[in-house]
Amino acid sequence: MVNNGRQNFTNCYIAGRVDFIYGSGTAVFDHCEIHSRNGGHITAASTPADHPFGFVFIYCHLTGDSQPWINPTNPVTGAAPNKAYADLGRPWRPTASVTYLNCEMDDHIKPAGWNNWGKVANEATARYAEYNSTGPGANPEKRVQWAKQLTNDLAEKITVESVLGGSDAWNPAQP
């Protein structure tokens, strides 16, 4: 849970299954491995409307379990279950903000990329974006129409400093 404030995660390994990175805080995940445990949704941001950024992933590698998840209360018998896929995120609050920059995405990422959490109205307010995604899970032409593919100019403006600086100009790279 990344709730309130500003956080910086660098060279981390973060794993979970459903909405495992969530909350209303502002956070940068820089050069991290984000591992989906058998599908689900990676993020559930509840970014307030007046915050320019929510979760920003920079040069991260999105990985997933090779074996599909089997619900222990309703196990699948006989045929093997389908591979478990993951969404990049779904909006916990309508104004959720999640951005992936220069991230490598393995094949567990759904081609559509994003989920509206069952509310079509979220498509007009959620702030979801990608830039220069690579790997078998990177499918810019198959992403939902309401998510953005950033231009070079827009992507260059999103840095650790610009996301986390705030009114006090915090620079997490400086002690």
What distance in Å separates the CA atoms of residue 91 and residue 116, rounded to the nearest whole number?
6
* Overall domain count for the chain: 1
Q: Quick check: is 72 in a domain?
A: no
What distance in Å separates the CA atoms of residue 40 and residue 79, rounded to the nearest whole number?
21
Is the per-residue pLDDT at 70 higher than 70?
no
Report strand pairing: 21-23 vs 43-45. parallel
Instruction: Dump pLDDT digits (tens) for 121-138.
Output: 999 999 999 999 999 999
- Closest CA relative to residue 32, chosen from 97, 96, 103, 85: 103
At residue 60, the 3 state secondary structure works out as coil
- pTM here is 0.92
In which domain, by residue range, is 88 found?
6-65+83-164
Is the per-residue pLDDT at 51 higher than 60?
yes
Q: Which residue has the higher pLDDT, 128 or 173?
A: 128
Q: What is the mean pLDDT of residues 101-110?
A: 96
Q: Which pLDDT does position 137 carry in this prediction?
A: 95
Give the model's confidence band at 74: pLDDT under 50 very low, under 70 low, under 90 confident, else very high: low
Q: Which pLDDT does position 83 carry in this prediction?
A: 60
Instruction: Please enumerate in sequence order all residues whose Cβ is within 8 A of that of 133, keeping only pairs 6 or more positions apart, or say none.
Output: 100, 102, 103, 104, 105, 140
Torsion over CA: 10, 96, 20, 168 (sign): positive
Q: Which pLDDT does position 10 carry in this prediction?
A: 97
Instruction: Dump pLDDT digits (tens) for 13-50.
Output: 999 999 999 999 999 999 999 999 988 899 999 999 99
Give the model's confidence band at 1: pLDDT under 50 very low, under 70 low, under 90 confident, else very high: very high
Measured CA distances, 30 to 112, 117, 118 (Å): 24, 26, 30
Q: Quick check: is 116 in a domain?
A: yes
Return the H-helix or E-strand segment holding 160: helix 160-164
Q: Quick check: is 170 in a domain?
A: no
Query: What is the amino acid identity at position 133?
Result: S
Q: Quick check: is 175 in a domain?
A: no
Q: Quick check: is 106 in a domain?
A: yes
Q: Quick check: is 76 in a domain?
A: no
| CATH assignment of the domain containing 36 | 2.160.20.10
Q: What is the mean pLDDT of residues 141-163?
A: 97
At residue 32, the 3 state secondary structure works out as coil
Return the H-helix or E-strand segment holding 125: helix 122-125
Q: Quick check: is 70 in a domain?
A: no
Q: Quick check: is 17 in a domain?
A: yes
Active site residues: 19
